[in-house]
Structure 1
Amino acid sequence: MLRSGNPLPDKVRAVMLRSETDIHLVASALGDCLVSAPGEAPGLLIPAALADGKEGRARLKGVLRHRAAVVGHAVPPHEATASVRAASRLLDLASAYDGPDAGVVFVDDHLSSLLLLQDESLTHTLIARRLSPLAGLTPERCERLEATLLAWLSGMGAPEVAKALSIHPQTVRYRMRQLEKLFGARLRDPRTRFEIEMALRSRQLIAGARRRRAAVNRRRPRAVPRPRTPLPRP
């Protein structure tokens, strides 16, 4: 629903915010929109057309500047909760706090990431199954091989992978020989290659989300314990 007295648009988008500070001023700047109720996750429901095209996106970014915000995908009004859910999920993976470095992120630009992390239990199962050949390696070696394998699975040849990773092409070939020994015939099966790429990208997304959560925790002020009042002696 939008403000009373106005007809519902054909499509709406959720806009989920990290903080509810001045949320009503944001709503006023955007025009027709519905503001979340007190106690709910801070957010807005806007006509989808407000985020259409470069001009729409630029206007939203201007209104929401210095805020960590996610604009959901366009849905019919009766499916608004789906846009809220997707935007809220992406907000967990995007900017961790408001401020000059915060920005507006659009669900439309991150559909594959959201699909990969839609069910974290299945995602962890996929990672464990398809990346098991890397399980016994040191973290440093595992990271190097994963980066090389992901670039190769993206369709790059040795020169392109070398340029993307800033390493020598011969290093790429050496790593690929190691990967072929570890994965064997699995790298020659199209379906398995696809699932390995999904697992690699999922692991990257999960690691990034963990780093952002850790950054938030470091920024939070530590609670200072109150001095205890001594009990009166009997």
Structure 2
Amino acid sequence: RRAKTVGRQHNLSPTLILSFADALFAYVEELEAVTREGYAEVRERAASEVSALRRRLLHLILAAPPLPRTTVAELSEAAAWELPRRCTLVALRPPVADRIQAALDEDVLADLDIPQPHLLVPGDLTPQRLAMIRRALSGTRAVLGLTVPLTQAADSVRWARRVLQFVDDGVVPDAPLVACEDHLTTLWLLSDHALVDHLAARELAPLDGLPPSRRDRLIETLRVHISTRAPAEQVGEMLGVHAQTVRYRLRNLDAHLGDRLADPEHRFALEVALRALHLRGHDGPP
């Protein structure tokens, strides 16, 4: 309108007025494009900064020993992330697909570009959360850690990674999503291989003088007997031998181990050691 008014005042030609209008519209279009580009850039930068803050926050939460809550709370506020009372850590087997991040709930913290990728799911592991994890991790092997207070998050991810290693070792059956909750005894029994070997060597020392094959048969019979408390007939079925053979072996064990089988402390130590050795795939200490 201003250009039209000026054009009339100065008797400018319609061609000149149209040229000016064309240039004006082009200029406005350019302003719009630059504004749109700047807006997208700022949004992308802000998202990138929040993402970086949240990765740093995850590192702080998993720090050992745990940092003061005030330190974590300050970064949590900067990252626009509400500190939960409880959380669940998830250990992933690399490589991790790029699509996983977009499929996660907005409040799930993730560090996926490291040799041992993991997630932190805030709050209790509800059926909805579990369904989200299954969808997001479809095609990626993972282990759910235990749901713990936030200060124990490092323990949760450590246990999850341990179970993931057990899956690789064939100790725990493979599945798309394995839960630590289902393998607590295995986690405990195999928490320290060297200590288990030492315990087994001490408790089974009276059998050391026997020929290896006979010793192995006695140890396997002892493991089944002491862990099941079953009668000789059932133990024989489990081992694929006659009940009389089981009784003969038990008499041999009683002769060699003596009071150890009657003493609650030694009996418990024997059961722990034999269960752990069996999980690892052999029936005696190396």
Same topology, TM > 0.5: yes
Which residue of structure 2 aligns with residue 157 of structure 1? Answer: 231
Bigger helix share: 2
Change (3 A) 1:126 1:62: farther
TM-score by length of 1: 0.72
Q: How far 1:117 moved relative to its partner?
A: 2.6
1:177 counterpart letter in structure 2: R
Q: CA deviation at 1:175?
A: 1.8
SS in 2 for 1:149: helix
In the other structure, the counterpart of 1:130 is 203
Match of 1:41 among 105, 113, 116: 116
Aligned-pair identity in percent equals: 39
Name the TM-score, length of structure 2 as normaliser.
0.60
| Greater RCO structure (CA 8 Å; 6+ sep) | 1
In 1, Cα distance between equivalents of 2:131 and 2:213: 40
Distance 1:126 1:66, change over 3 A: farther
Question: Which residue type is aligned with residue 112 of structure 1?
Answer: T
Structure 1 distance, partners of 2:161, 2:142, is 9
| Residue 184 of structure 2 is aligned to residue 111 of structure 1 | yes
Please tell me the residue identity of whatever aligns with 2:168: S
> How far apart are the structure 2 equivalents of 1:43 and 1:33?
10
Q: 1:19 aligns with which of 94, 98, 101?
A: 94
2:217 match: 144
Structure 1: gaps (5+ residues)? 209-234
Rg (Cα) greater in structure:
2
- CA–CA distance in structure 2, aligned partners of residues 57 and 137 of structure 1: 52
Pairing 1:202–2:276 present? yes
Aligned with 1:181 (options 255, 260, 272): 255
Question: Closer, same or farther in 2 for the Cα pair 1:46/1:56, shift >3 Å?
Answer: closer
**Deviation string for 1:1-45 (max 9, x for gaps)?**
5794342332111111221321x4334434232222633412211
CA contact (8 A) 1:131 1:199 kept: no
Shift in alpha-carbon separation, 1:184–1:66, aligned structure 2, 3 A: farther
Task: Tell me if the contact between 1:69 and 1:104 (Cα under 8 Å) persists in the aligned partners.
Answer: yes
Aligned length: 202
Shift of residue 143 of structure 1? 3.6
Is contact 1:27-1:33 (8 Å) kept? Answer: no
Equivalent residue for 2:165, pick from 81, 84, 92: 92
